[in-house]
Structure 1
Amino acid sequence: MRINLPTWLTLFRVALLPVMVLVFYLPFRGHNITAAIVFILAAVTDWFDGYLARRLNMTSAFGAFLDPVADKLMVAVTLFLLVESHRDGWSSVVMAVTAAVIVGREISVSALREWMAELGKRATVKVAFVGKLKTAMQMVALVVLIVQHEKEAKLLSLYNIGEWLLVVAGALTIWSGLHYLAAAWPYLREDARAARPE
């Protein structure tokens, strides 16, 4: 199996995850900014590898499998870092619940797409605009929260903005998940009828 350029970029994105985790915890001045830059670099490769794959017609089965895995790992790892670093009052509860909603939705939609692919209906649950909006909101929120995860008093309002953006992303996550479920529902009902004994 030959690995093409877009897939190398996806592998590079996966390799950036332990780097981000390490930088997130290292006690040097500006480590939060550095961690945010690593996250942004990973997010840029997410867009760029897809662009190259389409533009240069360099799609592959391995790349198609790895790309969504890398995306979900990037988001899940970052959310876990942020939840672990916020342990004060209602703020930590909001962060934990929102992270659980986002990760839970990603797992559910991935399972739904896999099941629909087995039926040959994967295009029915292709990425919709609300899903793209959710992703954009989520990425901005995560960058803001990484930068401000130590909640410095002078930038507390920035942290609050990041929190609210993540909550909005969580709401969009639920909305987009329901959108995909509604698209797949006729096939789910049909499968249930086929499985029902006479």
Structure 2
Amino acid sequence: MKLTVPTMLTLLRILLIPVLVLVFYLPFKWTNFAAAFIFAFASITDWLDGWIARRYNQYSAFGAFLDPVADKLMVAVALLLTVQKHPTVWMALWAAVIIGREIAVSALREWMAELGQRATVKVAGIGKIKTIVQMVALVCLLYQEPFAGINVFMVGEWLLAAAALLTLWSGLLYLRAAWPVLREDARS
């Protein structure tokens, strides 16, 4: 297995997960900034690895498998940390919607791939918008502190709610795209 630059960036993102957790729990005032910075950096590497793979044709089967795993792990851990620190009904609900949709869509993609229909459930534009909103929300929620008179945490809460709604919407689009195949399989 040859490691491409995009795959190395994806592996870096996975290695940053325990660093994020450790920094999040350190008892220093600067840890909010550091945790938000680590998550933001990881989010940028997510975009960068895809750009490099497309621009320089550095695709690999291992990278194609690992990239979505790294993304989902990083997001799930950031959501769990946020909910643990701010255990409200809404925060838990938004996190559950986002994590639940990721599991459901991953299972749907795997099942559709087994049926030879993977292209039916490819990533849509709404999914990319959802990802951007979700990443910005999590950076705000990890940062938590007011900045220039702006309640960054509240902005993060609203963006997380928007991300959860976009998550539901994109999940329904995936399901709608797969529905003809699901319905046909049920008739068999």
Same fold (TM over 0.5): yes
2:132 is equivalent to residue 142 of structure 1:
no
Once the two structures are TM-superposed, the CA of residue 50 in structure 1 deviates from its matched residue by 1.0
Q: Distance in 2 between matches of 1:131 and 1:67?
A: 15
Figure out how many residues of one structure are paired with residues of the other and give that number.
188
2:110 is equivalent to residue 114 of structure 1:
yes
After superposition, the C-alpha distances for 1:138-190 in whole angstroms (9 at most, x for unaligned) are 01110000000xx67x9683211111110111011000000000000000000
Q: Distance in 2 between matches of 1:113 and 1:137?
A: 23
Q: Distance in 1 between matches of 2:149 and 2:158?
A: 15
After TM superposition, what 4+ stretches of structure 1 lie above 3 angstroms from structure 2?
none
Equivalent residue in structure 2 for 1:189, among 180, 183, 186 = 183
Once the two structures are TM-superposed, the CA of residue 104 in structure 1 deviates from its matched residue by 0.2
Q: Structure 2 unaligned runs (5+)? A: none
Check the 8 A contact 2:143/2:152 in 1, yes or no.
Answer: no
Partner of 2:121: 125
TM-score (normalizing by structure 2): 0.95
User: Considering only aligned residues, what root-mean-square deviation do their CA atoms show, in Å?
Assistant: 1.6
After superposition, the C-alpha distances for 1:18-61 in whole angstroms (9 at most, x for unaligned) are 11111111012211001111111111111111111111111111
Following superposition of structure 1 onto structure 2, how do residues 22-41 of structure 1 map, counting pairs within 5 Å? 22-41=22-41
Q: Distance in 2 between matches of 1:128 and 1:50?
A: 15
Following superposition of structure 1 onto structure 2, how do residues 14-163 of structure 1 map, counting pairs within 5 Å? 14-87=14-87, 92-148=88-144, 157-163=151-157
Equivalent residue in structure 2 for 1:164, among 155, 158, 164 = 158
Check the 8 A contact 2:9/2:49 in 1, yes or no.
Answer: yes
Greater Rg by CA: 1
Q: Distance in 1 between matches of 2:149 and 2:117?
A: 47
Identity of aligned residues (%): 64
TM-score (normalizing by structure 1): 0.91
Check the 8 A contact 2:137/2:160 in 1, yes or no.
Answer: yes
